[in-house]
Amino acid sequence: MIWALVRGIMSKTVIPILLVICAGSIATTLPARAQDPATGPSVRDCPKFCPEMIRIFPGNFTMGSPATEKDRRDREGPQHQVAINYPFLAGKYDIKRDEYAAFATETKRPDRASCYAYDGLAFKDAPGRYWRDPGFAQTGLDPVVCVNWDDAQAYVAWLSKKTGKRYRLLSEAEWEYAARAGTATARYGSDDPARLCGYINGADLDFGKAFPQDDGVNKACRDGYGRTSPVGRFGPNGFGLYDMLGNVWQWTADCWNESYAGAPTNGGAWQAGTCGRRIRRGGSWYNLPKSLRAAMRDGVPQGNRDVTGGFRVARTP
């Protein structure tokens, strides 16, 4: 199961939006927007275990990266226009441990005690590790990790039944539209390595402190976390969504395809291709800046569980 847990794919980058930079606070100038993003107020369908959702309104955008983008991979093209002609809701945050725990407890979902963990040199299957014990301390507000695509699908099915609403995973196109939040740049915030820690949890000096064997880090700043961080600790993008880049990779609904040739242009999930692998987006606490870009995509076996992977949900209005 040695897929792309190699630094080149799981590389480390960061993106978006606030003023907390490494050791201090500075004002960040955001790139010009491709359009004015339109969002609605956040909503929750129940007070205790339901995730907070942000309404995303229809719009058009260019999906993928241009040939001139630094660190671009061929899998991010060809660029194409996507028209999302419908509103949808996206999770304000990644699904938190406490939210996942409510589902796992009520459904008595078996805890698969095996998860790929990082030891500072490589990812290895770690028997005994699972979402309740990934091998490092988490709070209930940290994003859940060690969950595979099937776990995420079971969660949205449970949440749909509990609320009477239609929860699901975002399509890959919806994810990129939501992550870009009206921008057409590589990230929704500054590309300056010294500023990345102000809006993304990626592999920086604090990661290097947690994993001294790994010196391939962004040495220009520190974000305060060596692994996952509680959701909402970094600034949101223009749609009010947090951690769209960094912290944990996010499963989407789509099957894996090596390029966008033949991809849907209406925002829907691509349910053709290599469907034993599903697309994850956004990068994680392990990744270098080159993987923390809005266009970065990776296809992962849908049964894979690892300490960098979680998910975000969507809802049809």
User: What was the pLDDT predicted at 52?
Assistant: 97
The answer on pLDDT for 126 being more than 80 is: yes
Q: Which among 156, 168, 178 has a CA at the least distance from the CA of 281?
A: 178
User: What was the pLDDT predicted at 4?
Assistant: 41
The string of pLDDT tens digits covering residues 137-192 is 999 999 999 999 999 999 999 999 999 999 999 999 999 999 999 999 999 988 88
User: What was the pLDDT predicted at 97?
Assistant: 98
User: What was the pLDDT predicted at 24?
Assistant: 35
Q: Which residue has the higher pLDDT, 7 or 114?
A: 114
The answer on pLDDT for 50 being more than 50 is: yes
- The CATH superfamily of 20-316 is paralog of FGE (formylglycine-generating enzyme) (3.90.1580.10)
The string of pLDDT tens digits covering residues 57-104 is 999 999 999 999 999 999 999 999 999 999 999 999 999 999 999 999
User: What was the pLDDT predicted at 6?
Assistant: 38
User: What was the pLDDT predicted at 37?
Assistant: 52
For the full predicted model, state whether its pTM sits above 0.75. Answer: yes
- Percent of the chain scoring above 70 in pLDDT: 87
CB 304 within 8 A of CB 78: no
User: What was the pLDDT predicted at 87?
Assistant: 97
The string of pLDDT tens digits covering residues 258-278 is 999 999 999 999 999 999 999
Question: What are the residue boundaries of the structural domains of the chain, listed by start?
Answer: 20-316
In sequence order, what are the residues at sequence separation of 6 or more whose Cβ sits closer than 8 angstroms to the Cβ of residue 263?
A: 63, 80, 173, 257, 270
Q: Which two tokens stand for residue 290?
A: 């080159």
User: What was the pLDDT predicted at 29?
Assistant: 33
- Percent of the chain scoring above 90 in pLDDT: 82
Element (H, E) at 90: strand 88-91
Tell me what the mean pLDDT of segment 47-61 comes to: 96
Q: Which two tokens stand for residue 189?
A: 């915030």
User: What was the pLDDT predicted at 38?
Assistant: 59
User: What was the pLDDT predicted at 18?
Assistant: 31
If you average pLDDT over every residue of the chain, what do you get? 89
| Number of Cβ within a 10 Å radius of residue 121 | 9
- Could you tell me how many helices (H) and strands (E) the chain has, helices first? 4, 15
Exposed (0-12), middle (13-18) or buried (19+): which is 265, by Cβ within 10 Å?
A: middle
The answer on pLDDT for 281 being more than 80 is: yes
User: What was the pLDDT predicted at 22?
Assistant: 33
User: What was the pLDDT predicted at 286?
Assistant: 98
The string of pLDDT tens digits covering residues 13-43 is 333 333 233 333 323 333 333 444 556 679 9
Judged by DSSP in three states, 88 sits in strand
DSSP 22-77: TTEE---PPPPBSS---EEEEE-SSSSSPPPEEEE--EEEEES--TTSTT--GGG-
